[in-house]
Amino acid sequence: MSMPGTERRADPARPQRGRNRQLVLDALRGAGRPLGAYELLRQLRSEGLRSPLQVYRALDRLIEEGSVHKIESVSAYAVCTGAECGSGGPVVFAICTRCGQAAEARDPGLGQLLGRLARRQGFRLEASTVELSGLCEACAQG
C-alpha cells in the first residue's frame, strides 16, 4: 500500500546534475581555456575521478545539455559562453595558438552561408562548428 504524500518523487523535468558532471564543469570554468580530457582527469584525480571513461561520460552529458562544446581541432572542451547558444547559427571558435584561449561567437548569416555551400555540393548539413586558428588580441599585441 502506498501512502500518499510521503513518497519522494524525482522531478524528471529538473534532472539533478551528477557529481562528476559538476566537477568537470567547474574545472573547465576555473581553467578559463579549453582543456583536454586527460588534463581534466589529472585535475580531478584528487576528487575521486579515476578513469578517462568517467571524464568522457561527464563530458558527453555536458555537451548534450549544451553547457560544453568540443573543439575538435585541439581535442579540447570549452564551457559554453554563448548567451543564446543553441539558436542563431553555427558556433565559431577563435582559438589562440599561443595562450590556448578560445572565444565563442555566433552569427546567423554564417549559418545561411554554410547551408548554401553545402547545398551546392548536394550535401545535407546536420551540424557545423567553425574553428579559427590564430592569435587572440592580447597575444597579437605582445
Residues making contact with Zn ion (CB under 5 A): 80, 82, 85, 96, 98-99, 136, 139
Give the relative orientation of helices 52-64 and 37-44 as an angle to the nearest 10 degrees. 110
CB 75 → Zn ion: shortest distance, Å?
18
CB 119 → Zn ion: shortest distance, Å?
25
Query: What distance lies between CA 73 and its chain's CA centroid?
Result: 14
Closer to Zn ion by Cβ: residue 30 or 48: 30
Closer to Zn ion by Cβ: residue 29 or 45: 29
Closer to Zn ion by Cβ: residue 49 or 96: 96
Cα separation, 89 vs 83, whole angstroms = 13
Laid out side by side, the sheet with 102-106 consists of: 102-106, 91-96, 129-134
